[in-house]
Amino acid sequence: MQAAESFSDQILILHRATSLSDLGSRLHFLTARQIELALSGLFPQVTVLSFGSSVNGFGKTACDLDLVLLAGKRQTADEDSSDCRLVFHAKTMLTNGRTQVQRHMETLGDVVQLLLPGCSHVRRIFQARVPIIKYHQGLTGVEWDLSMTNMSAVYMSELLYILGELDWRVRPLVFAVRSWAREIGLTNPTPGRWITNFSLTLLVLFYLQQHSKFSPVLPTLSRMISLAGPGDHRVTSDGVNCTFIRDVSQLCQHMTSSVRKLPNTNSLETLFIGFFEFYSSFDFSTCAISLISGVSVPKPDHSPLYIVNPLERGLNVSKNVSHDETERLRIEFRNTAWMLESVALTPEKSPLMASQKKADEAWGLTALFEAPNIASKARNIFYIPTRSVSPSRIVDVSDLFQQNTGVSDKSAPVSEVPVDSIRSSKQQSEMQDGIKPGTKVIKVSNRLHRR
Ligand code: UTP
Ligand code: MG
Protein backbone atom coordinates (compact mmCIF):
# COMPACT_ATOMS: atom_id res chain seq x y z
CA MET A 1 0.00 0.00 0.00
CA GLN A 2 1.28 3.50 -0.80
CA ALA A 3 0.46 6.56 1.27
CA ALA A 4 -0.79 9.50 -0.73
CA GLU A 5 -0.17 13.01 0.49
CA SER A 6 -2.47 14.87 -1.82
CA PHE A 7 -5.36 14.42 -4.21
CA SER A 8 -2.95 14.58 -7.18
CA ASP A 9 -0.86 11.88 -5.51
CA GLN A 10 -3.90 9.66 -5.22
CA ILE A 11 -4.57 10.01 -8.94
CA LEU A 12 -0.96 9.08 -9.75
CA ILE A 13 -1.04 6.06 -7.44
CA LEU A 14 -4.35 4.90 -8.90
CA HIS A 15 -2.81 5.09 -12.37
CA ARG A 16 0.34 3.25 -11.36
CA ALA A 17 -1.53 0.52 -9.52
CA THR A 18 -4.18 -0.20 -12.12
CA SER A 19 -2.50 0.29 -15.50
CA LEU A 20 -1.67 -2.72 -17.65
CA SER A 21 1.60 -4.21 -16.41
CA ASP A 22 4.51 -5.28 -18.59
CA LEU A 23 3.54 -8.93 -18.03
CA GLY A 24 -0.09 -8.20 -18.98
CA SER A 25 1.10 -6.48 -22.11
CA ARG A 26 3.36 -9.43 -23.07
CA LEU A 27 0.51 -11.88 -22.54
CA HIS A 28 -1.60 -9.78 -24.89
CA PHE A 29 1.06 -9.93 -27.61
CA LEU A 30 1.49 -13.68 -27.05
CA THR A 31 -2.25 -14.13 -27.48
CA ALA A 32 -2.19 -12.15 -30.72
CA ARG A 33 0.76 -14.22 -31.95
CA GLN A 34 -1.18 -17.44 -31.44
CA ILE A 35 -3.73 -16.61 -34.10
CA GLU A 36 -1.03 -15.28 -36.43
CA LEU A 37 0.86 -18.60 -36.19
CA ALA A 38 -2.30 -20.65 -36.57
CA LEU A 39 -3.17 -18.96 -39.87
CA SER A 40 0.30 -18.48 -41.29
CA GLY A 41 0.20 -21.89 -43.04
CA LEU A 42 -2.66 -20.67 -45.20
CA PHE A 43 -1.60 -17.01 -45.47
CA PRO A 44 2.18 -16.66 -44.95
CA GLN A 45 1.99 -12.88 -44.61
CA VAL A 46 -0.90 -12.80 -42.18
CA THR A 47 -0.55 -10.00 -39.62
CA VAL A 48 -2.52 -9.59 -36.42
CA LEU A 49 -2.34 -6.07 -35.03
CA SER A 50 -3.33 -5.07 -31.51
CA PHE A 51 -5.22 -1.84 -30.98
CA GLY A 52 -7.40 -0.29 -28.28
CA SER A 53 -6.52 0.18 -24.66
CA SER A 54 -3.97 -2.63 -24.50
CA VAL A 55 -1.61 -0.62 -26.73
CA ASN A 56 -2.76 3.00 -26.58
CA GLY A 57 -1.45 3.58 -23.04
CA PHE A 58 -4.92 3.79 -21.44
CA GLY A 59 -5.14 0.07 -20.68
CA LYS A 60 -6.13 -1.21 -17.29
CA THR A 61 -5.03 -4.54 -15.81
CA ALA A 62 -7.20 -7.23 -17.42
CA CYS A 63 -8.51 -4.98 -20.18
CA ASP A 64 -9.72 -6.75 -23.30
CA LEU A 65 -7.50 -7.28 -26.33
CA ASP A 66 -8.67 -5.69 -29.58
CA LEU A 67 -7.18 -7.27 -32.66
CA VAL A 68 -7.42 -6.78 -36.38
CA LEU A 69 -6.40 -9.58 -38.66
CA LEU A 70 -4.93 -8.63 -42.03
CA ALA A 71 -4.61 -11.61 -44.34
CA GLY A 72 -2.15 -9.77 -46.62
CA LYS A 73 0.94 -8.03 -45.29
CA ARG A 74 0.40 -4.45 -44.17
CA GLN A 75 2.19 -1.94 -46.36
CA THR A 76 4.14 0.62 -44.43
CA ALA A 77 4.75 4.00 -45.99
CA ASP A 78 8.32 3.19 -47.00
CA GLU A 79 7.58 -0.21 -48.53
CA ASP A 80 7.35 -0.48 -52.26
CA SER A 81 4.41 -2.71 -53.10
CA SER A 82 5.94 -3.73 -56.45
CA ASP A 83 8.45 -5.92 -54.56
CA CYS A 84 5.79 -7.95 -52.81
CA ARG A 85 4.82 -11.45 -53.87
CA LEU A 86 1.12 -12.12 -54.08
CA VAL A 87 0.70 -14.56 -51.24
CA PHE A 88 -2.82 -13.76 -50.08
CA HIS A 89 -5.02 -15.16 -52.76
CA ALA A 90 -8.72 -15.29 -51.90
CA LYS A 91 -11.70 -15.89 -54.16
CA THR A 92 -13.99 -13.01 -55.00
CA MET A 93 -17.57 -13.85 -54.13
CA LEU A 94 -20.59 -12.50 -55.95
CA THR A 95 -21.75 -10.68 -52.86
CA ASN A 96 -20.96 -7.30 -51.38
CA GLY A 97 -17.71 -6.74 -49.48
CA ARG A 98 -19.39 -6.78 -46.09
CA THR A 99 -20.94 -10.18 -46.69
CA GLN A 100 -17.60 -11.53 -47.85
CA VAL A 101 -15.94 -10.30 -44.66
CA GLN A 102 -18.70 -11.89 -42.59
CA ARG A 103 -18.21 -15.24 -44.35
CA HIS A 104 -14.44 -15.08 -43.78
CA MET A 105 -15.04 -14.28 -40.15
CA GLU A 106 -17.46 -17.19 -39.75
CA THR A 107 -14.68 -19.50 -40.92
CA LEU A 108 -12.20 -17.78 -38.64
CA GLY A 109 -14.60 -18.22 -35.72
CA ASP A 110 -14.80 -21.95 -36.46
CA VAL A 111 -10.99 -22.23 -36.62
CA VAL A 112 -10.66 -20.47 -33.26
CA GLN A 113 -13.41 -22.54 -31.68
CA LEU A 114 -12.38 -25.93 -33.03
CA LEU A 115 -8.61 -25.76 -33.39
CA LEU A 116 -6.94 -23.20 -31.16
CA PRO A 117 -5.87 -24.44 -27.71
CA GLY A 118 -7.30 -22.45 -24.81
CA CYS A 119 -9.89 -20.55 -26.85
CA SER A 120 -13.50 -20.82 -25.76
CA HIS A 121 -16.77 -18.86 -25.53
CA VAL A 122 -16.64 -17.82 -29.17
CA ARG A 123 -19.35 -15.27 -29.98
CA ARG A 124 -19.89 -13.92 -33.48
CA ILE A 125 -21.22 -10.36 -33.63
CA PHE A 126 -21.66 -9.63 -37.29
CA GLN A 127 -24.43 -7.04 -37.29
CA ALA A 128 -22.26 -4.38 -35.64
CA ARG A 129 -20.80 -1.62 -37.84
CA VAL A 130 -17.50 -3.49 -37.61
CA PRO A 131 -18.19 -7.25 -37.48
CA ILE A 132 -16.24 -8.90 -34.66
CA ILE A 133 -15.62 -12.28 -33.08
CA LYS A 134 -15.30 -12.27 -29.30
CA TYR A 135 -13.67 -15.07 -27.39
CA HIS A 136 -11.75 -16.03 -24.29
CA GLN A 137 -8.19 -17.32 -24.23
CA GLY A 138 -8.04 -19.36 -21.02
CA LEU A 139 -4.28 -19.98 -21.12
CA THR A 140 -3.37 -16.29 -20.97
CA GLY A 141 -6.63 -15.16 -19.36
CA VAL A 142 -7.31 -12.63 -22.10
CA GLU A 143 -10.64 -11.65 -23.70
CA TRP A 144 -10.30 -10.98 -27.43
CA ASP A 145 -12.29 -8.90 -29.87
CA LEU A 146 -11.13 -9.85 -33.35
CA SER A 147 -12.05 -7.95 -36.50
CA MET A 148 -10.80 -7.99 -40.08
CA THR A 149 -11.56 -4.52 -41.37
CA ASN A 150 -10.68 -2.01 -38.73
CA MET A 151 -7.49 -0.21 -39.70
CA SER A 152 -8.92 3.18 -38.74
CA ALA A 153 -9.24 1.86 -35.16
CA VAL A 154 -5.54 0.95 -35.26
CA TYR A 155 -4.69 4.52 -36.32
CA MET A 156 -7.05 5.83 -33.65
CA SER A 157 -4.97 3.92 -31.10
CA GLU A 158 -1.85 5.61 -32.49
CA LEU A 159 -3.55 8.98 -32.07
CA LEU A 160 -4.51 8.23 -28.46
CA TYR A 161 -1.04 6.88 -27.71
CA ILE A 162 0.60 10.05 -29.03
CA LEU A 163 -1.75 12.30 -27.03
CA GLY A 164 -1.00 10.26 -23.91
CA GLU A 165 2.75 10.62 -24.51
CA LEU A 166 2.57 14.41 -24.89
CA ASP A 167 1.95 15.24 -21.25
CA TRP A 168 2.46 13.12 -18.11
CA ARG A 169 -0.91 14.22 -16.69
CA VAL A 170 -3.04 12.86 -19.55
CA ARG A 171 -3.04 9.15 -18.70
CA PRO A 172 -3.49 9.48 -14.91
CA LEU A 173 -6.38 11.88 -15.52
CA VAL A 174 -8.05 9.50 -17.98
CA PHE A 175 -7.61 6.64 -15.51
CA ALA A 176 -9.17 8.66 -12.70
CA VAL A 177 -12.17 9.61 -14.81
CA ARG A 178 -12.63 6.05 -16.10
CA SER A 179 -12.41 4.71 -12.52
CA TRP A 180 -14.94 7.29 -11.37
CA ALA A 181 -17.34 6.20 -14.12
CA ARG A 182 -16.92 2.55 -13.22
CA GLU A 183 -17.39 3.18 -9.50
CA ILE A 184 -20.73 4.86 -10.00
CA GLY A 185 -21.90 2.36 -12.61
CA LEU A 186 -21.83 4.70 -15.62
CA THR A 187 -19.71 2.25 -17.61
CA ASN A 188 -20.14 -1.46 -17.84
CA PRO A 189 -18.02 -4.18 -19.48
CA THR A 190 -21.06 -5.40 -21.44
CA PRO A 191 -21.86 -3.40 -24.58
CA GLY A 192 -25.07 -1.44 -24.21
CA ARG A 193 -26.69 1.96 -24.30
CA TRP A 194 -24.19 3.45 -21.86
CA ILE A 195 -21.01 5.41 -22.45
CA THR A 196 -17.86 3.40 -23.21
CA ASN A 197 -14.36 3.90 -21.85
CA PHE A 198 -13.28 5.01 -25.31
CA SER A 199 -15.89 7.79 -25.43
CA LEU A 200 -14.97 8.86 -21.89
CA THR A 201 -11.33 9.04 -22.94
CA LEU A 202 -12.28 11.34 -25.82
CA LEU A 203 -14.21 13.55 -23.38
CA VAL A 204 -11.08 13.93 -21.25
CA LEU A 205 -8.86 14.63 -24.27
CA PHE A 206 -11.31 17.24 -25.55
CA TYR A 207 -11.31 18.92 -22.14
CA LEU A 208 -7.49 19.04 -22.24
CA GLN A 209 -7.65 20.83 -25.60
CA GLN A 210 -9.45 23.77 -23.96
CA HIS A 211 -7.65 26.87 -22.93
CA SER A 212 -8.49 29.60 -20.48
CA LYS A 213 -5.80 31.85 -19.10
CA PHE A 214 -3.45 28.89 -19.62
CA SER A 215 -2.49 27.30 -22.90
CA PRO A 216 -4.18 23.95 -23.64
CA VAL A 217 -2.51 20.75 -22.45
CA LEU A 218 -3.15 19.01 -25.78
CA PRO A 219 -3.18 20.17 -29.42
CA THR A 220 -6.18 19.83 -31.73
CA LEU A 221 -6.20 17.15 -34.40
CA SER A 222 -6.22 19.87 -37.09
CA ARG A 223 -2.90 21.07 -35.72
CA MET A 224 -1.51 17.53 -35.75
CA ILE A 225 -2.65 17.11 -39.36
CA SER A 226 -1.04 20.38 -40.41
CA LEU A 227 2.30 19.23 -38.92
CA ALA A 228 2.28 15.80 -40.64
CA GLY A 229 5.32 14.92 -42.74
CA PRO A 230 5.55 12.60 -45.78
CA GLY A 231 6.16 9.55 -43.54
CA ASP A 232 2.89 10.17 -41.69
CA HIS A 233 0.66 9.59 -44.69
CA ARG A 234 -1.92 6.83 -43.94
CA VAL A 235 -5.15 6.07 -45.81
CA THR A 236 -7.12 2.90 -45.04
CA SER A 237 -8.32 0.57 -47.81
CA ASP A 238 -11.81 2.03 -47.46
CA GLY A 239 -10.49 5.56 -47.95
CA VAL A 240 -10.30 6.92 -44.40
CA ASN A 241 -7.49 9.46 -44.21
CA CYS A 242 -5.58 8.92 -40.96
CA THR A 243 -2.67 11.25 -41.64
CA PHE A 244 -1.34 13.22 -38.66
CA ILE A 245 2.07 13.85 -37.14
CA ARG A 246 3.54 10.76 -35.45
CA ASP A 247 6.75 12.27 -34.10
CA VAL A 248 6.02 13.06 -30.46
CA SER A 249 9.18 15.09 -29.81
CA GLN A 250 8.62 17.25 -32.88
CA LEU A 251 5.02 17.82 -31.83
CA CYS A 252 6.16 18.75 -28.30
CA GLN A 253 8.60 21.28 -29.76
CA HIS A 254 5.85 22.88 -31.86
CA MET A 255 3.56 23.03 -28.85
CA THR A 256 6.21 24.72 -26.72
CA SER A 257 7.28 27.19 -29.40
CA SER A 258 3.71 28.20 -30.24
CA VAL A 259 2.62 28.87 -26.64
CA ARG A 260 1.10 32.33 -26.51
CA LYS A 261 -0.40 32.10 -23.04
CA LEU A 262 0.94 30.98 -19.70
CA PRO A 263 2.09 27.35 -19.91
CA ASN A 264 -0.44 25.00 -18.36
CA THR A 265 1.10 23.78 -15.11
CA ASN A 266 -2.15 22.86 -13.38
CA SER A 267 -1.96 19.97 -10.94
CA LEU A 268 -3.87 16.73 -11.51
CA GLU A 269 -6.25 17.79 -8.76
CA THR A 270 -7.04 21.07 -10.53
CA LEU A 271 -7.47 19.30 -13.86
CA PHE A 272 -9.72 16.62 -12.33
CA ILE A 273 -11.98 19.20 -10.68
CA GLY A 274 -11.88 21.32 -13.84
CA PHE A 275 -13.06 18.34 -15.90
CA PHE A 276 -16.27 18.05 -13.88
CA GLU A 277 -16.84 21.80 -13.87
CA PHE A 278 -16.34 21.93 -17.63
CA TYR A 279 -18.85 19.17 -18.39
CA SER A 280 -21.33 20.37 -15.74
CA SER A 281 -21.97 23.38 -17.90
CA PHE A 282 -21.51 21.75 -21.31
CA ASP A 283 -24.59 21.91 -23.53
CA PHE A 284 -24.96 18.25 -24.54
CA SER A 285 -28.40 18.88 -26.07
CA THR A 286 -27.22 21.06 -28.96
CA CYS A 287 -23.45 20.67 -29.10
CA ALA A 288 -21.19 17.90 -30.34
CA ILE A 289 -17.64 17.32 -29.13
CA SER A 290 -14.97 17.61 -31.80
CA LEU A 291 -11.31 16.87 -31.13
CA ILE A 292 -10.56 17.99 -34.67
CA SER A 293 -11.08 21.66 -33.91
CA GLY A 294 -10.98 21.38 -30.10
CA VAL A 295 -14.24 23.32 -29.85
CA SER A 296 -17.83 22.19 -29.65
CA VAL A 297 -19.76 22.15 -32.92
CA PRO A 298 -23.52 22.02 -33.62
CA LYS A 299 -24.85 18.47 -33.50
CA PRO A 300 -25.32 17.04 -36.99
CA ASP A 301 -28.22 14.80 -35.87
CA HIS A 302 -30.47 14.13 -32.89
CA SER A 303 -28.25 11.61 -31.09
CA PRO A 304 -28.47 12.33 -27.35
CA LEU A 305 -24.67 12.38 -27.05
CA TYR A 306 -22.52 13.30 -30.04
CA ILE A 307 -18.74 12.86 -30.07
CA VAL A 308 -17.35 13.30 -33.58
CA ASN A 309 -15.13 10.39 -34.54
CA PRO A 310 -11.82 12.24 -35.05
CA LEU A 311 -10.76 10.04 -37.97
CA GLU A 312 -14.07 9.02 -39.55
CA ARG A 313 -15.67 12.41 -39.29
CA GLY A 314 -19.16 11.41 -40.38
CA LEU A 315 -19.51 9.00 -37.46
CA ASN A 316 -20.60 9.54 -33.90
CA VAL A 317 -18.44 7.57 -31.47
CA SER A 318 -21.20 7.65 -28.84
CA LYS A 319 -24.10 6.75 -31.14
CA ASN A 320 -25.02 3.88 -28.83
CA VAL A 321 -25.64 6.12 -25.80
CA SER A 322 -29.35 6.49 -25.02
CA HIS A 323 -31.17 9.61 -23.89
CA ASP A 324 -31.47 8.27 -20.33
CA GLU A 325 -27.79 7.44 -20.10
CA THR A 326 -26.81 10.88 -21.45
CA GLU A 327 -29.08 12.47 -18.89
CA ARG A 328 -27.50 10.38 -16.18
CA LEU A 329 -24.00 11.31 -17.35
CA ARG A 330 -24.90 14.99 -17.26
CA ILE A 331 -26.31 14.64 -13.76
CA GLU A 332 -23.29 12.70 -12.52
CA PHE A 333 -21.00 15.44 -13.82
CA ARG A 334 -22.92 17.98 -11.75
CA ASN A 335 -23.16 15.78 -8.68
CA THR A 336 -19.45 15.09 -8.73
CA ALA A 337 -18.56 18.75 -9.29
CA TRP A 338 -20.71 19.49 -6.28
CA MET A 339 -19.24 16.65 -4.22
CA LEU A 340 -15.72 17.81 -5.02
CA GLU A 341 -16.65 21.03 -3.29
CA SER A 342 -17.97 19.19 -0.25
CA VAL A 343 -15.55 16.31 0.41
CA ALA A 344 -12.16 16.79 2.03
CA LEU A 345 -9.59 16.89 -0.75
CA THR A 346 -6.55 16.55 1.51
CA PRO A 347 -5.87 14.56 4.67
CA GLU A 348 -6.47 16.56 7.83
CA LYS A 349 -3.25 18.17 8.93
CA SER A 350 -4.70 19.26 12.25
CA PRO A 351 -3.58 17.80 15.60
CA LEU A 352 -6.76 15.74 15.52
CA MET A 353 -5.07 13.69 12.83
CA ALA A 354 -3.18 12.00 15.62
CA SER A 355 -6.32 10.20 16.63
CA GLN A 356 -6.77 6.95 14.69
CA LYS A 357 -10.40 7.72 13.90
CA LYS A 358 -9.52 10.92 12.09
CA ALA A 359 -6.65 9.25 10.25
CA ASP A 360 -9.01 6.59 8.90
CA GLU A 361 -11.41 9.11 7.46
CA ALA A 362 -11.71 8.99 3.73
CA TRP A 363 -10.55 12.00 1.75
CA GLY A 364 -10.00 12.90 -1.90
CA LEU A 365 -10.58 10.13 -4.42
CA THR A 366 -11.30 7.64 -1.66
CA ALA A 367 -14.06 9.83 -0.30
CA LEU A 368 -15.45 10.22 -3.79
CA PHE A 369 -15.32 6.52 -4.64
CA GLU A 370 -15.73 4.79 -1.32
CA ALA A 371 -18.51 6.71 0.32
CA PRO A 372 -21.46 5.30 -1.58
CA ASN A 373 -23.91 6.60 1.02
CA ILE A 374 -22.78 10.18 0.70
CA ALA A 375 -22.39 9.80 -3.02
CA SER A 376 -25.80 8.33 -3.65
CA LYS A 377 -27.45 10.93 -1.42
CA ALA A 378 -25.83 13.69 -3.37
CA ARG A 379 -26.62 11.94 -6.62
CA ASN A 380 -30.27 11.86 -5.67
CA ILE A 381 -30.40 15.61 -5.36
CA PHE A 382 -30.03 16.09 -9.07
CA TYR A 383 -31.91 13.18 -10.47
CA ILE A 384 -35.10 14.51 -12.01
CA PRO A 385 -36.03 12.03 -14.71
CA THR A 386 -37.30 13.79 -17.81
CA ARG A 387 -38.71 10.50 -19.02
CA SER A 388 -39.43 7.28 -17.25
CA VAL A 389 -36.28 5.23 -16.86
CA SER A 390 -36.39 2.03 -18.86
CA PRO A 391 -36.86 -1.01 -16.60
CA SER A 392 -33.63 -2.52 -17.78
CA ARG A 393 -30.50 -1.04 -19.34
CA ILE A 394 -29.65 -4.36 -20.95
CA VAL A 395 -30.05 -4.55 -24.70
CA ASP A 396 -28.97 -6.95 -27.36
CA VAL A 397 -25.97 -5.68 -29.34
CA SER A 398 -27.78 -6.40 -32.60
CA ASP A 399 -30.48 -3.87 -31.57
CA LEU A 400 -27.84 -1.22 -31.16
CA PHE A 401 -26.03 -1.46 -34.41
CA GLN A 402 -28.82 -2.85 -36.55
CA GLN A 403 -27.88 -2.68 -40.19
CA ASN A 404 -30.11 -4.31 -42.68
CA THR A 405 -27.60 -6.34 -44.60
CA GLY A 406 -30.06 -9.04 -45.58
CA VAL A 407 -27.72 -11.64 -44.13
CA SER A 408 -28.96 -13.81 -41.35
CA ASP A 409 -26.71 -13.72 -38.32
CA LYS A 410 -25.91 -17.04 -36.81
CA SER A 411 -24.16 -15.37 -33.91
CA ALA A 412 -24.96 -16.42 -30.44
CA PRO A 413 -26.61 -13.68 -28.37
CA VAL A 414 -24.23 -11.58 -26.36
CA SER A 415 -24.15 -12.70 -22.78
CA GLU A 416 -26.29 -10.48 -20.63
CA VAL A 417 -25.12 -9.36 -17.23
CA PRO A 418 -27.99 -8.41 -14.95
CA VAL A 419 -27.77 -4.72 -14.22
CA ASP A 420 -28.58 -5.31 -10.59
CA SER A 421 -25.32 -7.17 -10.19
CA ILE A 422 -23.44 -4.12 -11.40
CA ARG A 423 -25.35 -1.31 -9.79
CA SER A 424 -26.29 -1.70 -6.16
CA SER A 425 -29.96 -2.11 -5.39
CA LYS A 426 -29.80 1.18 -3.49
CA GLN A 427 -28.55 3.01 -6.54
CA GLN A 428 -31.21 1.25 -8.63
CA SER A 429 -34.04 2.30 -6.39
CA GLU A 430 -32.70 5.85 -6.29
CA MET A 431 -32.58 5.93 -10.05
CA GLN A 432 -36.22 5.00 -10.18
CA ASP A 433 -37.43 7.33 -7.41
CA GLY A 434 -38.95 10.49 -8.75
CA ILE A 435 -37.24 13.39 -7.01
CA LYS A 436 -39.36 16.26 -5.92
CA PRO A 437 -38.21 19.36 -7.68
CA GLY A 438 -37.52 21.65 -4.82
CA THR A 439 -35.22 23.92 -3.01
CA LYS A 440 -32.25 21.60 -3.04
CA VAL A 441 -32.07 21.48 -6.80
CA ILE A 442 -32.27 25.24 -7.06
CA LYS A 443 -29.70 25.63 -4.35
CA VAL A 444 -27.22 23.32 -6.05
CA SER A 445 -27.71 24.72 -9.50
CA ASN A 446 -27.00 28.12 -7.97
CA ARG A 447 -23.75 26.73 -6.68
CA LEU A 448 -22.87 25.63 -10.16
CA HIS A 449 -23.76 28.94 -11.65
CA ARG A 450 -21.61 30.74 -9.16
CA ARG A 451 -18.49 29.00 -10.55
P1 UTP B 1 -12.90 -0.39 -27.14
O2 UTP B 1 -14.34 -0.07 -27.07
O3 UTP B 1 -12.43 -1.79 -26.82
O4 UTP B 1 -12.16 0.68 -26.23
O5 UTP B 1 -12.41 0.01 -28.58
P6 UTP B 1 -10.77 0.63 -25.48
O7 UTP B 1 -10.11 1.96 -25.73
O8 UTP B 1 -9.99 -0.60 -25.86
O9 UTP B 1 -11.22 0.58 -23.96
P10 UTP B 1 -11.49 -0.71 -23.01
O11 UTP B 1 -10.35 -0.74 -22.06
O12 UTP B 1 -11.57 -1.92 -23.89
O13 UTP B 1 -12.79 -0.41 -22.35
C14 UTP B 1 -11.11 -0.36 -29.04
C15 UTP B 1 -10.55 0.71 -29.92
O16 UTP B 1 -11.31 0.80 -31.11
C17 UTP B 1 -11.22 2.11 -31.62
C18 UTP B 1 -10.38 2.93 -30.64
O19 UTP B 1 -9.03 2.90 -31.07
C20 UTP B 1 -10.52 2.13 -29.36
O21 UTP B 1 -9.43 2.36 -28.48
N22 UTP B 1 -12.59 2.66 -31.80
C23 UTP B 1 -13.59 2.30 -30.97
C24 UTP B 1 -12.79 3.53 -32.83
O25 UTP B 1 -11.86 3.85 -33.60
N26 UTP B 1 -14.06 4.04 -33.01
C27 UTP B 1 -15.10 3.71 -32.20
O28 UTP B 1 -16.24 4.21 -32.39
C29 UTP B 1 -14.85 2.81 -31.15
MG1 MG C 1 -10.72 -2.57 -25.75
Is residue 150 lining ligand 1, measured as CB closer than 6 Å?
no
The number of the ligand 1 atom at minimal distance from the alpha carbon of 145 is 3
* pLDDT > 90? residue 196: yes
Nearest ligand by distance to the CA of 49? 1
pLDDT category, 425, cuts 50, 70, 90? Answer: very low
Q: What confidence score (pLDDT) does residue 440 get?
A: 35
How does DSSP classify residue 352?
G
Report the pLDDT value the prediction gives residue 26, as an integer from 0 to 100. Answer: 94
Q: 120 - beta bridge partners?
A: 136
Burial (CB count within 10 angstroms: exposed 0-12, middle 13-18, buried 19+), residue 199: buried
Distance from the alpha carbon of residue 59 to the mean position of ligand 1, in angstroms: 10
- The model's pTM: 0.81
Least reliable range by pLDDT among 127-136, 250-259, 292-301, 398-407:
398-407
pLDDT at 360: 66
Judge whether residue 149 has pLDDT over 80: yes
* 13 neighbors 4 (Cβ within 8 angstroms): yes
The distance between the two most distant Cα atoms of the chain, rounded to a whole number of Å, is 80
Please state, in angstroms and rounded to a whole number, the distance separating the CA atoms of residues 317 and 314.
Answer: 10
Q: Which residue has the higher pLDDT, 93 or 412?
A: 93
pLDDT of residue 217: 96
Q: 56 CB under 6 A from ligand 1? A: yes
N-term to C-term CA, the chain: 36
Decide: 312 in ligand 1 pocket, CB within 6 A.
no
66 lines ligand 1 (CB under 6 A): yes
Q: Which of 55-59, 127-131, 153-157 has the lowest mean pLDDT?
A: 127-131
pLDDT at 198 over 50: yes
Note the pLDDT tens digit of each residue in 61-96.
Answer: 989 999 999 976 655 544 445 555 555 666 776 667
Burial (0-12, 13-18, 19+ Cβ within 10 Å), 265: exposed
> Residue 92 has what DSSP assignment?
P
Residue 255 CA to ligand 2 center (angstroms) comes to 29
- Single out the residue of 271, 267, 254 nearest to residue 211, CA to CA: 271
Cross-strand pairs, 67: 50, 146
Give the model's pLDDT for residue 110.
94
- Amino acid (1-letter code) at residue 165: E
Is 244 close to ligand 1, i.e. is its CB under 6 Å away? no
Atom of ligand 1 nearest to the CA of 129: 28
Residue from 297, 383, 291 nearest 333 by CA: 383
Q: What is the reported pLDDT for 405?
A: 39
Question: Tens digit of pLDDT for each residue in 30-55?
Answer: 999 999 999 888 888 889 999 999 99
Nearest ligand to the C-alpha atom of residue 188:
1
- Is there a contact between 51 and 154 (Cβ–Cβ < 8 Å)? yes
Confirm or reject: Cβ of 53 under 6 Å from ligand 1: yes
Angle ∠(86,87,91) on CA atoms, nearest 5? 90
Ligand nearest to the CA of 60: 1
Mean pLDDT to the nearest integer, 202-227: 95
pLDDT attached to residue 42: 82
Nearest CA to ligand 1 atom 5: 52
CA distance 55 to 48: 13
Band of pLDDT at residue 56, cut at 50, 70 and 90: very high
Q: How far is the CA of 347 from the centre of ligand 2 (A)?
A: 35
Question: If we measure between CA atoms, which residue out of 96, 104, 95, 91 comes closest to residue 133?
Answer: 104
Supply the pLDDT for residue 89: 64
Beta-carbon count within 10 A of 364 CB: 22
290: left (phi over 0), alpha (psi -120 to 50) or beta: beta
Q: Cα of 195 to ligand 1 centre, how many Å?
A: 12
State which ligand 1 atom lies nearest to the alpha carbon of 153: 25
* Ligand 1 pocket, residue 156 CB under 6 Å: yes
CA of 358 to the centre of ligand 2 (A): 40
Going by alpha carbons, the residue nearest to atom 20 of ligand 1 is 52
In residues, how long is the chain? 451
- Tens of pLDDT, residues 228-247: 999 999 999 889 999 999 99
Q: Would you place residue 366 in the very low, low, confident or very high pLDDT band (cuts 50, 70, 90)?
A: confident
Instruction: Give the closest ligand to the alpha carbon of residue 197.
Output: 1
> Residue 382 pLDDT more than 90?
no
| Beta strand 65-70 pairing with 142-147 | parallel
- Per residue in 102-126, pLDDT (tens digit) is 888 999 999 999 999 999 999 999 9
Tell me the residue ranges of DSSP E strands in 158-250.
Answer: none
* Residue with the larger pLDDT of the pair 443 and 233: 233
Q: Is the pLDDT of residue 355 over 70?
A: no
Which range is least confidently modeled, 107-116, 278-287, 361-370, 386-395?
386-395
Mutational pocket test of ligand 1: of 60, 198, 320, 400, the residue with most ligand atoms within 8 Å of the beta carbon = 198
154 vs 92, higher pLDDT: 154
Nearest atom of ligand 1 to the alpha carbon of 154: 19
Domains and CATH numbers, the chain: 19-76+90-149 (3.30.460.10), 154-342 (1.10.1410.10)
How far apart (Å, rounded) are the C-alpha atoms in residues 116 and 322? 38
335 within ligand 1 shell (Cβ under 6 A):
no
pLDDT band at residue 435 using 50, 70 and 90 as cut-offs? very low
Among 247, 251, 189, 181, which residue's Cα sits nearest to residue 220? 251
**CA of 59 relative to ligand 2 center, distance in Å:** 8
Average pLDDT of the segment spanning 281-302: 97
Neighbour-count burial of 187, counting CB atoms closer than 10 A to its CB (0-12 exposed, 13-18 middle, 19+ buried): buried
**Smallest-distance ligand from the CA of 58:** 1
Output the residue whose Cα is nearest ligand 1's atom 25.
153
Task: Tell me, rounded to whole angstroms, the distance of Cα 286 from its chain centroid.
Answer: 22
- How much of the chain exceeds pLDDT 70, in percent? 73
Q: pLDDT at position 83, please?
A: 56
Q: Is the pLDDT of residue 205 over 60?
A: yes
Count the neighbouring beta carbons within 10 Å of the beta carbon of residue 183.
15
Question: Does the structure show a pLDDT above 80 at 401?
Answer: no
What per-residue confidence (pLDDT) applies to 448?
Answer: 37
Higher pLDDT, 243 or 352: 243
Average pLDDT over residues 340-369: 72
